[in-house]
Structure 1
Amino acid sequence: MKILVIADVESPYYWDFYSEDKLKGIDLIISCGDLAPQYLSFLVTLSHVPVLYVHGNHDGCYKDTPPDGCICIDDRIYVHDGLRIMGLGGSMKYHTGPYQYTEKQMRRRFKKLIPRIFRHKGIDILVTHSPALKINDGEDLPHKGFEVFREIMDRYHPKYFLHGHVHKSYTSKFKRYDEYQGTIIVNGCERCIIEVEQKD
């Protein structure tokens, strides 16, 4: 299964210079946040595949203008062709804006999902906006990662952890791909495509 992972920056490759062949073969699109709702609506309309999303810390406009035809997976587990996908959007709380959480608040959100994880017998893909603590996160509070995301990987060993929030332009140490305890970590900044083994 080919999954287009997007976050933070509307890609001119699709947004400004779209052609039908560019989304050919894509089976699923996952947004890790901080993208214009119109961009997600554009992609779901032209791709004819599901577009899943979590909120980024700059997605306050989604309250009034949610992306049409797209599926919010924040605080839920969504199953697509057998893949169990769990969403926990938002960033570390650094002011009073929406979709910002303390470590304690994010941990509370995760704990509410534990019964659903149990019912689904685990998760295959964890989708967040922020990275995990000390795994390619930033040193400043707004871009600091969440410790609980590491604990989710330690406990449930999802095959993939998809996030955004840390842009390519922020640091020369930007890493698109990484690995932690067997989980493949992908920073979806702008766009990248991953191939995930489809479950029976």
Structure 2
Amino acid sequence: MRILVIGDHESKSLWDFYEPSKLEDIDLIISCGDLSPRYLSFLVTMAHAPVLYIHGNHDDKYEMTPPEGCICVDDDLYVYNGIRILGLGGSMRYRYGTHQYTEKEMRTRIRKLWMKLIRYKGFDILLTHSPAKDINDGEDLPHQGFECFRTLLEKYKPKYFIHGHVHMSYGRKYKRIDHYQDTVIINGYDQYVFDYENPDFSSDVSRAGTHMSK
């Protein structure tokens, strides 16, 4: 399965200079947040693939103008073609904001998902807006990562951890690809494409496009 990851910056290649060939082999599009809802709606219209998204810390506008035709997986565990995706949007709280959280608040969000984590025996992709604490995050409060994300990586050992928020344009400190134990970490800034090989799941988690209600 070929997955397109996007986040934080609308790619001119995909929007201003779009050509059908750029999306024709994409099977799934995943947004890490802080993107125009019009951009996501455009991509889901042009691609033959679903668009899954979580909220970034600047996505208050989604409340009034949600991305049409796209699927929000924030605070959810979504299964697409056998791939279990856990979505946790938002950033560390640095001022009042709809999609900003303290470490304690983020842990509370994770606890609310425990039944799904047990039922589906973990997850394969952790999709967040912010990075994990001390893994490709920033020193300033707005860009600090969550310690509980690192805990999730250590406990469930997903194949991929996909995040945004720390723009690669900030400097060389922020890597496109990193690793933590057995997990590959992808910074979804702008756009990035990778191939995911479907694991062999038991039948209870292999139903294509299964969406577990909140």
Q: Is the TM-score greater than 0.5?
A: yes
| Counterpart residue number, 1:120 | 120
Runs of 4+ in 1 over 6 A off after TM superposition: none
Percent identical among aligned pairs is: 62
| Counterpart residue number, 1:173 | 173
Task: Tell me the CA shift for residue 172 of structure 1.
Answer: 2.2
| Counterpart residue number, 2:156 | 156
TM-score by length of 2: 0.92
Q: Secondary structure at the match of 1:13?
A: coil
Q: Secondary structure at the match of 1:77?
A: strand
Q: Which structure dedicates a bigger proportion of its chain to helix? A: 1
**Aligned residues: CA RMSD:** 0.7
Task: Tell me the CA shift for residue 21 of structure 1.
Answer: 0.2
Paired with 1:121 and 1:44, the residues of 2 have a C-alpha distance of 29
Paired with 1:113 and 1:143, the residues of 2 have a C-alpha distance of 24
The residue identity in structure 2 corresponding to 1:115 is M
Unaligned runs of 5+ in 2: 201-214
Paired with 1:173 and 1:84, the residues of 2 have a C-alpha distance of 30
1:122-165 CA distance string (max 9 Å, x none): 10000000000000100100000000000000000010000000
Mapping for residues 1-200 of structure 1, pairs under 5 Å: 1-200=1-200
Task: Give the number of aligned pairs.
Answer: 200
Q: Secondary structure at the match of 1:12?
A: coil
Q: Secondary structure at the match of 1:25?
A: coil
TM-score by length of 1: 0.99
Unaligned runs of 5+ in 1: none
| Counterpart residue number, 2:206 | none
Please say if residues 26 and 48 of structure 2, whose CA atoms lie closer than 8 Å, have aligned partners that are also in contact.
no
Paired with 2:169 and 2:18, the residues of 1 have a C-alpha distance of 24
Paired with 2:87 and 2:142, the residues of 1 have a C-alpha distance of 19
Task: Tell me the CA shift for residue 61 of structure 1.
Answer: 0.2
Paired with 1:122 and 1:140, the residues of 2 have a C-alpha distance of 31
